[in-house]
Amino acid sequence: MTAANEALTALGLREMGERLARRAASSRELVDASLARIAATDAAVGAFLKVVPERARARAAEADARISRGERRSPLDGVPIAVKDLFLTKGVETTAASRILEGFVPPFDATVVERLEAAGAVVVGKLNMDEFAMGSSNENSAFKPCRNPHDLSRTPGGSSGGSAAAVAARQVPASLGTDTGGSIRLPASFCGVVGVKPTYGRVSRYGVIAFASSLDQVGPIARSVEDAAMLLGAIAGHDPRDMTSSTRPVDDYLASLEQGAKGLRIGVPREWFQGGVDAGVERLVRDALARYEKEGARLVEVSLPHTRYGIGAYYLIATAEASSNLARYDGVRFGLRAADARGLKETYSETRERGFGPEPKRRIMLGTYALSAGYYDAYYLRAQKVRTLIRRDFDQAFAKVDVIAGPVAPTCAFRLGERTADPLQMYLADIFTITCNLAALPGMSVPCGVHAETRLPVGLQLVGRPFDEATLLRTARALEREVGPGPEPAALTSARGGAA
Amino acid sequence: MPVQDFQVVLGLEVHAQLLTRSKIFCGCSTAFGGEPNTHTCPVCLGMPGVLPLLNRQVVEFAVRTGLALGCAIQPKSVWARKNYFYPDLPKGYQISQYEAPICLGGTVTIVVDGQEKRIRLTRIHMEEDAGKNVHDVSADGASGVDLNRAGVPLMELVSEPDLRSVEEAVEYLKELRAILVCLGVNDGNLEEGSFRCDANVSIMRKGATEYGTRCEIKNMNSFRFLKQAVDYEVRRQVEIVEAGGKVMQETRLFDTVRGETRSMRSKEEAHDYRYFPEPDLPPVIVEPSLVERARAALPELPRARAARYQQALGLSPYDAGLLVSDGAVAGFFDAALAAYGKGPEAAKKVANWLTGDLARLANEAGTGPVAWRLTPAHLAGILKLVDAGTIGGPGAKQVVEEVFRTGAAPDAVVQAKGLAQVSDESAIEAAVDRVLAASAAEVERFRGGNTKLMGFFVGQVMKETKGKANPAVVNALLKRKLEG
Amino acid sequence: MALSLEEVRRIAQLARLRLGPEEESRLAVQLSAILEHVAELSTLDVTGVEPMTHALAAGEGAPLREDVVQPSLAPDVALGNAPAREGTWFKVPRIIE
């Protein structure tokens, strides 16, 4: 990788946009640099399931033509970007990291992809993930694992592992992921980047392969709060094709970004600090809180008493919805079909048996059980009531505070294979992120330092009121001004300085 | 016969396809026919990542129907997923309504053997139709799936088990169908499957208070099949009970060839549909303003219309019933009458033509009033020509047939075919005089008391005038001249 | 809350998953463990609590779609990912009613 390319891939989203506007760099150069970086590092990282160089270069050429005509469409026009392989991309294979969708080429784009491409962003590839967004480590990808660019023996987190790793590895300045129980925030924390899960309904779900319909949300991952805010602004807003998307106007997230933390009331949930969090992680989180106080924010203790029931409620509701959403993968109209099966019934069960990995199967089973006759009331229905209680906890807290802060996860990135034997162990990684999805609130992770012992990045989680992403971003920015962005991907420096 | 000791108890579930232009959750056309999979899109194909988009017209149609049937329209109703695997169900679930349907209650009034009976409805809900499976689509015996129909909106109307005979069931279906057609929400076509009916059949000993176990019978696409199926099923259930057995609750298919019902249940367990509220769709909120608008726009329903025809227009129950059984015919009647005249006499004349000659012509052509070339204005015009004496009865028949065939103006047809009667007395008088002069002997006999010869004289005058003389005028003239 | 093998088989049937015997036993164990964690929910008093089945608050969404026909996909596109087709039919193994 040449030094020039290096310099380009170190740029953030806004910076790239500015270079393009000044004609100090072309889209072709930026895209080529991104592709070169991917080529040099992705054998180690495994962030990409598919790279589309031809397509990307063609779009880059179009962007350059526009720019030279003075017809730049947006600050994102000509900037390379990548999206989780959960988003349908017209004409480009989309698999949800599952064998059951291997070879599936969608005839339409997800709305968010349409919006990005309409803004001129150049999609360079589809990112690795846990199969059907089910997982917290990207180890459930049917194709290959993804590794943490800061320590290749560790997971990048999941399910949007590839989305976070690609940004941390400087393969792209920003990416899109999805978050159902923490799947943007967790990998963002583990990879030392910024990840935002917007309020449910803020961003369109049309064309996003569904895992849990009442929990899934699309969000940006980037290396700075500002970049994340830019990207969010580009994709947010009502979509007439999604009846669960909100008609509220989209705030100008950049306008309030630099307001600082002074006067903010920051809620610190007692239940998030009752042990069970790694000492080094908690230290960093508390340091961040202390910084906020110094800035003039007021820390207020709040209580979210139903936190502990979040995992249970989630693994009934999300799996129930998933068991239904995944019923369409039956080998009839698209995707894998077990051609050697005899008869229709066998075709269904053989196709699904072969096509789904262990985690989707586990969740389909759990969800089917939770909805089945005799169990619906005790499981699914009860979980939905507990969900209301969880939401009420937050509503009550937000009567006293503007934003809630705490850890994203109990630990920093764990090693590959460390938790794969025990699903429940893996699920418990989501303890702090999951209630935010259940309550349909916006949440994000912003780097708050590097773990004293492991030197791995740690993120601070912020949760906000419905549709108050602006306050979240402003609060995150205030910390970023103090502690700076996440660390450089140490594990990849050896890849630097290699062949041009 | 043991069957007499038993009472059949019937409940009916009607699935009515709604006459919207586009499907319930996407913009694909609902038009019938078309090559397989030519009215599909990612949404109704159940592709990954798609989301349903509710068609407003479906809700309006359901509200309209609920109001017409006296249901309680629910201000909030909820969509639910009904989960099962079948090739014609692309998502692996059907979006329907379960615990919270859009309408509750309601009634349909039927008349059997002159007796009125109110059949209660349990509920009405909205749902999407499935696609179609076809056998032997290729030489190797494979089946084919066509998803054109997947996503067509359906209304399911469930009755209470208030029906006590197949006759009552048929009347219920006819009345319900007439209402839905009148409302413009369904085309009432049983044979083509846009109006489908399943029957829940059980028996109980006469005098018993508890209902027996019911079986659901599917696939009866005509009233004849319905009768056959229910009769068979009743005999089957009676046989079981008489032999000391218990009727098993199950779903049975009517075999149209053998005239029997067959169990659909294979060795696996019955479906567990795992209903849960559809997360991709918000609850349906029906504002009072929508209800009021729908109520104000309700057309006159068949029962009320038939009553009006009898009371205000003096039509017989039979005629009234015939006219309202087809909303288009009733509409034609109203328009023709409005253009023709007022009162029972006028109504009777219009009704006679409609239920007589026009019905025959329509049957032969296989068309309904919407397609007729003969318009209400035409019919009114023809009747006026008769009143004016321009044409007689036989002439009018000819005009009606010609106008029906070509749509030409009645006046033009009368001209072209030379059907105009001569009513002018002086013109006819000459002919009458000639006939009387030539039939002196018959005149003698007539004056002698053989009054039957009037017919002879009329016939002769008609021959003399080549059928063009107005018979009434001929009669009057002959009478005058013969009787002095 | 232990799940029996029989239950696992029933659920697998409902979900159209042909599990191997090893998978069945493993899932029985794993699912039982998860259900045990989930069992904590039953200790909560949820009397009078409405279920939160929809995540978007009422009134946030858009009015309903107008009844207007939109173009459908060309059949070749609709069938573009079909594992098997016959003409414009999706082809599946014989369906026995």
- Joined tokens for residue B404: 């029906």
Confidence of residue B301 (pLDDT cuts 50, 70, 90): very high
Query: What's the pLDDT at A494?
Result: 53
State pLDDT tens for residues B365-389: 988 888 899 999 999 999 999 888 8
Summary mean pLDDT of chain B: 91
Using alpha carbons only, how large is chain A's radius of gyration in Å? 21
pLDDT of residue B416: 85
Q: Which residues of chain A have pLDDT under 50?
A: 495-500
The residue of chain B nearest to residue A371, with distances taken between CA atoms, is B274
CATH no. for C1-43: 1.10.20.60
pLDDT tens column, B11-52:
999 999 999 999 999 999 999 888 999 999 999 999 999 999
Residue B364 dihedral angles phi and psi, to the nearest 5°: -60, -40
- pLDDT tier at B417, thresholds 50, 70, 90: confident
Q: What is the rounded CA–CA span in Å between residue A349 and residue A86?
A: 23
Rounded distance between C-alpha atoms, residue B252 and residue B254, angstroms = 7
In degrees and rounded to multiples of 5, residue A146 shows phi and psi of -115, 145
Task: Tell me which DSSP letter residue B371 carries.
Answer: T
Contact criterion met (CB < 8 Å) for B272 and C14: yes
CB-facing half-sphere around the CA of A268: CA atoms within 13 A:
16
From C56, C73, C79, residue closest to A200, measured CB to CB: C56
pLDDT at C97: 62
CA–CA separation, A63 and A465 (whole Å): 37
Å between C79 CA and nearest CA of chain A: 7
**Which pLDDT value is given to residue B394?**
82
For residues B67-84, give the mean pLDDT.
Answer: 97
Q: Tokens at residue B226, please?
A: 């319905």
Q: Do A385 and C51 touch (CB under 8 A)?
A: yes
pLDDT at residue A219, rounded to an integer = 98
pLDDT of residue A458: 98
Q: Which chains touch A (3 or more CB pairs under 8 A)?
A: B, C
Closest CA–CA distance from residue A60 to any residue of chain C (Å): 27
| pLDDT of amino acid B325 | 80
pTM, to two decimals: 0.91
> 3-state class of B95 per DSSP?
strand
Residues of C in contact with A337 (CB under 8 A): 83-84
Residues of chain B neighbouring A216 (CB-CB closer than 8 A): none
Interface test with C, best of A209, A311, A333, A419 (most C CBs within 10 A): A333
Residue B268 has pLDDT above 60, yes or no: no
CA-nearest of A162, A168, A171, A123 to A5 is A171
Residue for token digits 């959960």? Answer: A86
Chain centroid offset of residue B468 CA: 41
pLDDT > 70? residue B267: no
How far is residue A181 from each of residues A199, A404, A439, A455, measured CA to CA in Å?
13, 17, 11, 26
Q: Are A262 and A297 in contact (CB under 8 A)?
A: yes
Quick one: which of B180, B170, B247 has its CA closest to B216? Answer: B247
Question: Given B49, B52, B91, which is nearest A208 (Cβ)?
Answer: B49
Q: Which of A309, A337, A356 lies nearest to residue C83, judging by beta carbons?
A: A337
Mean pLDDT of B208-236: 91
Q: How, if at all, do strands A80-84 and A122-127 pair?
A: parallel
Q: Quick one: which H or E segment has residue C36?
A: helix C21-38
| CA A172 vs CA A76, A490, B394: distances in Å | 13, 17, 90
Residues of B in contact with A210 (CB under 8 A): 48-49
- Does A247 contact C at CB distance below 8 Å? yes
- Going along chain A from its start, the domains and CATH numbers come out as 3-251+258-263+445-495 (3.90.1300.10)
pLDDT of residue B29: 98
**Quick one: pLDDT at residue B2?**
56
Q: How far apart are the first and last CA of chain A?
A: 4
Choose from C18, C64, C68 for mutation: most chain B CBs within 10 A.
C64
Closest CA to A448 of A153, A130, A90, A188: A188
Contact A356, A98 (CB under 8 A): yes
Contacts 24+ apart (CB under 8 A), B336-339: B336/B376, B336/B377, B336/B379, B336/B380, B337/B313, B337/B380, B338/B376, B339/B376, B339/B377, B339/B379, B339/B380, B339/B381
Mapped onto helix, strand or coil, the DSSP state of residue B233 is helix
What's the angle, vertex CA B457, arms to CA B452 and CA B460, rounded to 5? 140
Which is nearest to C82 in space by CA: A105, A97, B190? A105
- Name the percent of chain B lying above pLDDT 70: 98
pLDDT attached to residue A495? 46
Mean pLDDT of C39-67: 94
ipTM of the predicted assembly exceeds 0.90: yes
- What amino acid occupies position A310? G
Task: Name chain C contacts of A311, Cβ cutoff 8 Å.
Answer: 37
Neighbours of chain B (3+ CB pairs under 8 A): A, C
Q: Which of A106, A241, A376 sits opposite B51 (nearest CB)?
A: A241
> Position of tokens 């969708």?
A101
What domains are defined for chain B? 2-290 (no CATH), 300-416 (no CATH), 425-483 (1.10.10.410)
According to the model, what pLDDT value does residue A500 have?
A: 37
H/E stretch holding B143: strand B143-146
User: Which residues have a Cβ under 8 Å from the Cβ of B468 and sit 6 or more positions away?
Assistant: B418, B420, B421, B422
Given this model, what pLDDT does residue B451 score?
Answer: 85
- Closest-CA distance, B345 to chain C, in angstroms, reads 44
Do the chains contact at C73 and B45, CB–CB below 8 Å? yes
pLDDT digits 0-9 by tens, A269-297: 999 999 899 999 999 999 999 999 999 99
Q: Is A378 exposed, middle or buried (0-12, 13-18, 19+ CB in 10 A)?
A: middle
| Dist CA B80 CA B101 (whole Å) | 10
Sign, CA dihedral B209-B215-B221-B222, equals: negative
Query: What is the three-state SS of chain A?
Result: CCHHHHHHHCCCHHHHHHHHHHCCCCHHHHHHHHHHHHHHHHHHHCCEEEECHHHHHHHHHHHHHHHHCCCCCCCCCCCEEEEECCECECCECCCCCCHHHCCCCCCCCCHHHHHHHHCCCEEEEEECCCHHHCCCCCCCCCCCCCCECCECCECCCCCCHHHHHHHHCCCCCEEEEEECCCCCHHHHHHHCCEEEECCCCCECCCCECCCCCCCCEEEEEECCHHHHHHHHHHHECCCCCCCCCCCCCCCCCCCCHHHCCCCCEEEEEHHHHCCCCCHHHHHHHHHHHHHHHHHCCEEEEECCCCHHHHHHHHHHHHHHHHHHHHHHCCCCCCCCCCCCCCHHHHHHHHHHHHHCCHHHHHHHHHHHHHHCCCCCHHHHHHHHHHHHHHHHHHHHHCCCCCEEEEECCCCCCCECCCCCCCHHHHHHHHCCCHHHHHCCCCEEEEEEEECCCCCCEEEEEEEECCCCHHHHHHHHHHHHHHHCCCCCCHHHHHHCCCCC
Per-residue confidence (pLDDT) for residue B430, from 0 to 100:
87
What would the pLDDT profile of A73-126 be if each residue is shown by its tens digit?
999 999 999 999 999 999 999 999 999 999 999 999 999 999 999 999 999 999
Distance from CA of B135 to the nearest CA of A (A): 13
